[in-house]
């Protein structure tokens, strides 16, 4: 403790740091100049892993700092040979506040040695990197991990190791690091409901590079730095028209048809959602422990908000010790992937004006790190709510101690029609009244060669094939293969915050097909904003380890993995549920054959039905938050 107090006293002489708003206004060149002014640096260090592989690492320490420093660690598969973007700004923010900032490339990326693997061996490489940092004579032995997307996902499996130096973490948009948690078994966002997502195919083209250039091993850091000044080892792959390429069949040839050599994609596309291979890599699964206080940042229009919030709940209930369980906090905004520093007035997400989303992301993060890395117990408000979330529709930040909020209760809205819910011009209705007696089923034709187009929703990192956010669904609701069920106009506001369940009774003349569900907010002018969506491959209705084909004439119950959001349906608005059998290019098309799908080039047309009679109710279950 004395050692830490001396270090903090020495840091007090560094002067007041510039505010987060100041640095947010800096240009990239100004930030680089500021980093050079504020810090001393060591670049292209090779940090040794237990198997002898060296990981390229840069260290920035506050200039003039005397004594041991708290450390913020950012680990990434992306290029930081020239610091830029959020990594540059966070390096400046960190050193200005008295932290050492350490950034490292995963193995197999740029100047790091070894072979690339998604998530970068967090249980071994991540652990060894923490040990190296803690042992440096400039480190106080307390390390906070921080990052968004790929720089957050590896932190999850590391947290299960409970490294003694891992004092705190800030995982932002970390869903692709989750394998299985509770109802969700998405295996790092590769699947939703057993349906592969196309985004990873695009992402792997850019990141996986088995033919990458490397410099000779054994060079000292000074020589490696000199080489890096004129060669950053960044692959320059040919541009791809992903809007066209994503339609390629068979799916297994998506990248090889571009001339790519076999790599991670060809291995992963063969796996089912329950394949043992998912449990042998870097993904975090809910049979593991957890030992680290965490400040989570998630967003409603990201790729995996459901698994993220489920993991937050899981850790609060099951972390390895009381301190870790009690110190889990979540912030959930209406933004898209990793846009946590863009909150402010006049926010538009997709096509929807969400008003003033202002939130001091940087200030909260450093209050968190000051608490755990500097032992400043006054830095973190003891009355901080465990969940801060943006309620869309009301367009304001709200707080709760649990997710869903404590006062939420389940309300079911049932699907009804006279057999003609096809398109927004049909007779589909959504009502709190359960069905009585017989109701004709709604039937539609699903042709996988003419799939329903994705418009908005939660997605990311997909080469532009889908633009995430709140977009109007009316352009696709004119199709007869889209069923639309709409409530009466609301007279009172209704807050829906939490996990949103969908249960459908279905039948098909195909041995296997998909069913996709959306929750939609219909404004008084008719604009139909997507809130969230989900999908389920019918063969997995009994579980991912027990695929079963459908038989014509049989009716099956499908219980979807939940949607997750916070939306206040305002007076004058209507609640809408949309059902189809495709949501492309967000999700890979089911070719309806009952075969492996990934290696097939021809599909068949399916005649699919949604049943909603008294014996086969179909409904959506909303977590409605009642006023206290």
Q: How, if at all, do strands 619-625 and 494-508 pair? A: antiparallel
At residue 35's C-alpha, the angle toward residues 44 and 56, to 5°, is 15
Structure tokens at 222: 């000074």
pLDDT band at 430 (very low <50, low <70, confident <90, very high): very high
* pLDDT tens per residue across span 207-259: 998 888 888 888 898 998 999 988 888 888 999 999 999 999 999 999 999 99
Q: Is 28 left (phi over 0), alpha (psi -120 to 50) or beta?
A: alpha
Half-sphere exposure of 286 (CA within 13 A, CB side): 19
d(CA 133, CA 111): 19
Q: Give pLDDT, residue 3.
A: 31
CB 41 within 8 A of CB 59: yes
Output the pLDDT for position 15. Answer: 31
Residue span(s) of the chain under CATH 3.40.50.1820 come to: 2-188+283-400
Q: How far is CA 3 from the centre of its chain?
A: 39
Q: Which of 187, 181, 153, 161 is nearest to 287 (CA)?
A: 181
370 among known catalytic residues:
no
Choose the catalytic residue: 68, 128, 208, 302.
Answer: 302
CATH classification number, 2-188+283-400, choose in 3.10.450.50, 3.40.50.920, 3.40.50.1820, 1.10.3720.10: 3.40.50.1820
Catalytic status, residue 573 = no
Catalytic option among 39, 56, 149, 566: 149
**pLDDT-wise least confident of 16-20, 97-101, 241-245, 589-593:** 16-20
pLDDT for 560 beyond 80: yes
Out of 6-10, 397-401, 488-492, 504-508, least confident range: 6-10
Fold classification of 408-625 is Jelly Rolls (2.60.120)
* Average pLDDT value for the chain: 94
CB 133 within 8 A of CB 102: yes
If you compute the radius of gyration of the chain from its CA atoms, what whole number of angstroms results?
25
Residue 27: its pLDDT value, please?
A: 94
Q: Write the pLDDT tens digit of every residue in 187-214.
A: 999 999 999 999 999 999 999 988 888 8
Cα 572 from Cα 152, distance rounded (Å): 40
Residue tagged active-site, from 337, 416, 505, 612? 337
Average of per-residue pLDDT across 154-171? 98
Q: Would you call 274 exposed, middle or buried from its count of C-beta atoms within 10 A (0-12, 13-18, 19+)?
A: middle
Say how far apart CA 427 and CA 423 lie, in whole Å: 9
Q: Measuring CA to CA, which residue among 392, 429, 393 is closest to residue 618? A: 429
Strands 178-180 and 166-172 turn out to be unpaired
Q: Any catalytic annotation for residue 302?
A: yes
- CATH 2.60.120.260 spans which residues of the chain? 408-625
The CB density around residue 514, as the number of other CB atoms within 10 Å, is 29
Q: Please state, in angstroms and rounded to a whole number, the distance separating the CA atoms of residues 309 and 419.
A: 37
Structure tokens at 326: 């009690």
């Amino acid at each position: 403790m004395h050692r830490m107090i001396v270090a903090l006293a020495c840091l007090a002489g560094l002067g007041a740091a510039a505010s987060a708003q100041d640095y947010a206004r800096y240009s990239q060149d100004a930030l680089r100049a500021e980093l050079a002014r504020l810090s001393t640096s060591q670049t292209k260090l090779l940090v040794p892993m237990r198997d002898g592989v060296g990981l390229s690492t840069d260290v920035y320490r506050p200039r003039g700092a005397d004594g041991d420093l708290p450390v913020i660690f950012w680990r990434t598969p992306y290029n930081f040979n020239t610091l830029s973007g959020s990594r540059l700004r966070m390096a400046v923010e960190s050193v200005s506040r008295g932290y050492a900032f350490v950034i490292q490339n995963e193995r197999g990326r740029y100047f790091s040695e070894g072979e690339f693997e998604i998530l970068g061996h967090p249980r071994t490489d991540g652990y060894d990197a923490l040990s190296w940092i803690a042992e440096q004579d400039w480190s106080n032995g307390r390390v906070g991990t921080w990052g968004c997307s790929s720089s957050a996902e590896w932190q999850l499996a590391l947290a299960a190791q409970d490294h003694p130096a891992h004092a705190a973490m800030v995982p932002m948009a970390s869903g692709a690091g989750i394998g299985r948690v509770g109802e969700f078994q998405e295996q790092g966002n590769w699947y939703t409901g057993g349906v592969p997502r196309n985004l990873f195919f695009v992402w792997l083209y850019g990141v996986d590079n088995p033919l990458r250039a490397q410099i000779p091993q054994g060079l000292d850091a000074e020589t490696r730095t000199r080489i890096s000044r004129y060669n950053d080892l960044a692959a320059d792959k040919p541009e791809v028209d992903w809007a066209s390429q994503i339609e390629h069949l068979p799916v297994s040839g998506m990248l090889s048809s571009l001339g790519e050599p076999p790599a991670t994609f060809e291995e992963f596309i063969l796996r089912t959602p329950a394949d043992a291979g998912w449990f042998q890599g870097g993904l975090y699964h809910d049979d593991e422990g957890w030992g680290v206080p965490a400040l989570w940042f998630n967003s409603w229009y990201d790729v995996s908000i459901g698994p993220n919030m489920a993991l937050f709940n899981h850790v609060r209930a099951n972390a390895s010790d009381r301190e870790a369980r009690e110190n889990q906090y979540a912030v959930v905004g209406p933004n898209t992937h990793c846009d946590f520093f863009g909150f402010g007035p006049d926010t538009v997400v997709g096509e929807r004006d969400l008003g003033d989303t202002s939130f001091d992301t940087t200030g909260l993060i450093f209050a968190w790190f000051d608490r755990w890395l500097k032992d400043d117990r006054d830095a973190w408000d003891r009355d901080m709510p465990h969940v801060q979330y943006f309620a869309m529709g009301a367009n304001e930040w709200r707080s709760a101690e649990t997710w869903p909020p404590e006062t939420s209760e389940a309300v079911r809205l049932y699907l009804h029609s006279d057999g003609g819910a096809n398109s927004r011009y049909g007779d589909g209705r959504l009502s709190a009244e359960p069905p009585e007696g017989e109701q004709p089923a709604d039937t539609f034709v699903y042709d996988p060669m003419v799939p329903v187009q994705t418009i908005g929703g939660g997605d990311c990192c997909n080469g532009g094939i889908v633009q995430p956010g709140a977009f109007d669904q009316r352009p696709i609701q004119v199709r007869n293969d889209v069923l639309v069920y709409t409530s009466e106009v609301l007279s009172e506001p209704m807050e829906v915050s939490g996990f949103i369940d969908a249960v459908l009774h279905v039948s098909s003349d195909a041995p296997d097909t998909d069913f996709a569900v959306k929750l939609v907010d219909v404004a008084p002018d008719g604009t139909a904003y997507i809130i969230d969506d989900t999908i389920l491959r019918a063969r997995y209705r009994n579980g991912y380890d027990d695929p079963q084909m459908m038989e014509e004439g049989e009716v099956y119950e499908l219980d979807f993995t939940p949607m997750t959001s916070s939306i206040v349906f305002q007076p004058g608005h209507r609640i809408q549920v949309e059902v189809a059998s495709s949501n492309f290019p967000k999700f890979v098309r089911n070719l309806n054959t009952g075969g492996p799908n990934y290696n097939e080039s021809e599909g068949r047309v399916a005649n699919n039905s949604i049943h909603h009679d008294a014996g086969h109710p179909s409904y959506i279950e909303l977590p409605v938050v009642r006023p206290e």
